Amino acid sequence: MSMKFFSRLSQNYIEILEDDEYYDITIEVGNDPNVKIFRAHMIILCYRSPFLRRTLTSNKKNNDNILTHIKFPNISPEIF
């Protein structure tokens, strides 16, 4: 594969991370007053992190299109 393809693929991943419309999961980290909510894409998290795959498997989105929301209060936003 050409370097141009991989360059474009990398750019697409950056665009996905910045996407405000098509995310399907929110991850809340930290405790008040230091809480941050991250928007993400479940499919990418499952393939990039075995821990998140296990966590998300037990919290799968229902068929009624309700957004999945998980909390990690013991992880600071800066670490996450």
- Sequence-distant (6+) residues with CB within 8 A of 35 are 28, 29, 77
In this structure, is residue 57 part of a structural domain? yes
In this structure, is residue 39 part of a structural domain? yes
pLDDT of 19: 84
CATH code for the domain in which residue 5 is found: 3.30.710.10
Q: Can you give the pTM of this predicted structure?
A: 0.73
pLDDT of 21: 86
The string of DSSP letters for 30-76 reads EETTEEEEEEE-HHHHHHH-HHHHHHHHTTPPPTT-PPEEEEETTS-
**59 lies in which domain range?**
1-72
In this structure, is residue 79 part of a structural domain? no
In this structure, is residue 77 part of a structural domain? no
Question: How many structural domains compose the chain?
Answer: 1
In this structure, is residue 47 part of a structural domain? yes
- pLDDT tens-digit readout, 8-55: 999 998 898 888 888 889 999 999 999 999 999 988 899 999 999 998
